[in-house]
Amino acid sequence: MNSALALLAEWMPHQRWYSSKGSAPELRLLESRQLPSAPGADAVVMLLIVVDESASPPITYQVPIVRRSAASAADSAHRVGVGDDGTVLVDGPHDIAYTTVLQEQLALGPQPMTANVLTGEQSNTSIVFRPRSAPPVICKLFRQLNPGVNPDIELQTALAQAGSAHVPRAVGHLEGSWPDPARADSTITGSLAFAQEFLPDVEDAWRVALRAAASGESFTVQAHALGAATADVHLSLARLFPTGNADEAARGMISGAWQRRLAIATAEVPGLGRHRQAIAAVYERAMSAPWPPLQRVHGDYHLGQVLHVPRRGWVLLDFEGEPMRPIRERMLPDSALRDVAGMLRSFDYVAGSLERDGAASSLSPWARASRVAFLGGYEHRTGAPATGPLLDAFELDKAVYEAIYEGRNRPGWLGIPLSAIDRLVGSE
Q: What is the pLDDT of residues 217-266, one digit of tens each?
A: 999 999 999 999 999 999 999 999 999 999 999 999 999 999 999 999 99
In this model, does residue 128 exceed pLDDT 80? yes
Question: Which CATH number belongs to the domain containing residue 395 in this structure?
Answer: 3.90.1200.10
- What would the DSSP string read from start to end of 144-196? EE-SB--HHHHHHHHHHHTT-TTSPPEEEEEEEEEE-TT-TT-EEEEEEEEEE
User: Among 142, 165, 197, where does a domain finish?
Assistant: 197
Q: 93 exposed, middle or buried (CB, 10 Å; 0-12, 13-18, 19+)?
A: buried
One domain, residues 283 and 230: yes
What are the DSSP E strand ranges found in 258-318?
Answer: 306-309, 313-316
One domain, residues 232 and 189: no
User: Among 154, 172, 197, where does a domain finish?
Assistant: 197
Do residues 204 and 304 lie in contact, with contact meaning Cβ atoms separated by under 8 Å?
A: yes
44 contacts: CB under 8 Å, gap ≥ 6: 34, 37, 66, 67, 68, 87
The stretch 75-96 carries a mean pLDDT of 90
pLDDT tens profile 298-313: 999 999 999 999 999 9
pLDDT tens profile 153-196: 999 999 999 999 999 999 999 999 999 999 989 999 999 999 99
Question: According to the model, what pLDDT value does residue 199 have?
Answer: 96
In this model, does residue 148 exceed pLDDT 50? yes
Question: According to the model, what pLDDT value does residue 74 have?
Answer: 65
H or E stretch at 63: strand 59-68
Q: Which amino acid is at 428?
A: E
Question: According to the model, what pLDDT value does residue 237 have?
Answer: 98
One domain, residues 167 and 209: no
Query: What percent of the chain is predicted at pLDDT more than 70?
Result: 97
Question: According to the model, what pLDDT value does residue 77 have?
Answer: 80
pLDDT tens profile 112-123: 899 999 987 678
Q: 241 exposed, middle or buried (CB, 10 Å; 0-12, 13-18, 19+)?
A: middle
Buried b or exposed e, range 173-193, using 16+ CB within 10 angstroms: bbebebbebeeeeeebebbbb
- pLDDT range class, residue 72, cuts 50, 70, 90: confident
One domain, residues 172 and 263: no
One domain, residues 189 and 233: no
One domain, residues 396 and 303: yes
In this model, does residue 428 exceed pLDDT 50? no
- pLDDT range class, residue 366, cuts 50, 70, 90: very high
Do residues 317 and 373 lie in contact, with contact meaning Cβ atoms separated by under 8 Å?
A: no
Question: According to the model, what pLDDT value does residue 121 have?
Answer: 66
CA 138, CA 129: separation in Å to the nearest integer?
A: 6
In this model, does residue 297 exceed pLDDT 80? yes
User: Among 143, 172, 197, where does a domain finish?
Assistant: 197
pLDDT tens profile 348-357: 999 999 998 8
CA 133, CA 24: separation in Å to the nearest integer?
A: 46
One domain, residues 309 and 419: yes
Q: How many domains does the chain have?
A: 2
**CA 32 to the chain's CA centroid:** 27
Please state, rounded to an integer, the average pLDDT across all residues of the chain.
93
One domain, residues 279 and 136: no
One domain, residues 417 and 394: yes
One domain, residues 108 and 26: yes
Question: According to the model, what pLDDT value does residue 427 have?
Answer: 47
One domain, residues 184 and 229: no
Rounded to two decimals, the pTM is 0.92
Tell me the residue range of the domain where 312 lies. Answer: 203-426
Question: According to the model, what pLDDT value does residue 323 have?
Answer: 76
3-class DSSP assignment, residue 244 = strand
One domain, residues 151 and 223: no
The stretch 44-70 carries a mean pLDDT of 95
